[in-house]
Structure 1
């Protein structure tokens, strides 16, 4: 409860709303943290665990939407807290994409990350004297950029990189942190990806043309007779390179 208000001053229904929200919030954090303990590859147990985590976050997201006024008044819900929930859902979709290679999950992650930026959920973070909150914002930007790179939304990537660069500069100046070099390295790596794809090359006639290292829809091998969509599975991948700090485009 907020302010000088005692628990007895709050209607029973509103108290229950706050209690239920805190339970869902704690449960979601517990399940999300448990994802770190799962093996990164193989083992079917990850699917059921992801499913439980998705269910709790879905309930939490809908709950805060349905009871926003009560949570604002009685719990003191901040917009950055809503953004953090949305960011976690985006991360879940992204990691589900990594497990399954289904781009529909990547698009879902993009939708949540886009909503965070459009609704300015992290806008007020810069006004609070809490560097850990600003780091949450910077990490959100980094994850959003990765998703945009995978979806080949290069124009948006350039906008996000500019915003992230400004956020990093403000963060390091305000808090005199020791992780400035790490965040600058993030910017350098993104810049390397932007520079690597697409690239200008010369053909046999010494004419310049733009090429991309990305697999295009029209260049995917045709399915063999009798196969249906969904049966084509990547079994192995061999990555070969001989350059220092080489950028690899999947």
Structure 2
């Protein structure tokens, strides 16, 4: 996959490809990552790409022409690509979006700055995405999050292909708890079931734990999920156990 990031700070976004799973993706040839400096398309000696907004008000806006030229140049460099604008006004970015974008041959990530971009460039944008309901100084950190989440999904990047499938949100639920050596740490023991060798029981325990975490921490996720028969049964068990715990405390 090829990813071009259009930004005022290409040196910053390119750093994501030097560490962790993105670095592995780059080294294995699964990912080609590059930043493109918007100021190279300024058309003026000051390399300025921002201007005051019409209608008055505080802040500056990224101008249409340099941004449009940068998108066109990126298309030439990477070929057919989906153009993604990182913006707090976009659709919420989640694991489903990461999986969807990881199947694209190329992406052009546009990093907004200042008060945003000139609206007239929006016809060149395929999708607008937000990494959360908060405002960053620019889209660079958001783009780096997107690159990292996509890189680990590319073929051959993770050592165990099942790792991505078992991550939080991959099936719409939070992940189950994890334990490693030693068996007892500061008087806290690893749950016996994980030491049993009973793989069916372990699988069921993990599914139940993931459901319980989701119910307690992110119940909103359950609203959009279609649970299978086993998950419905486990969820009923969890709710019954929680009710018994509450009764025991009263």
TM over 0.5: no
Structure with the bigger percentage of helix: 1
Give the TM-score normalised by the residue count of structure 1. 0.27
Per chain length, whose mean CA-contact separation is higher, i.e. which structure has more relative contact order (CA < 8 Å, sep 6+)?
Answer: 2
Give the TM-score normalised by the residue count of structure 2. 0.27
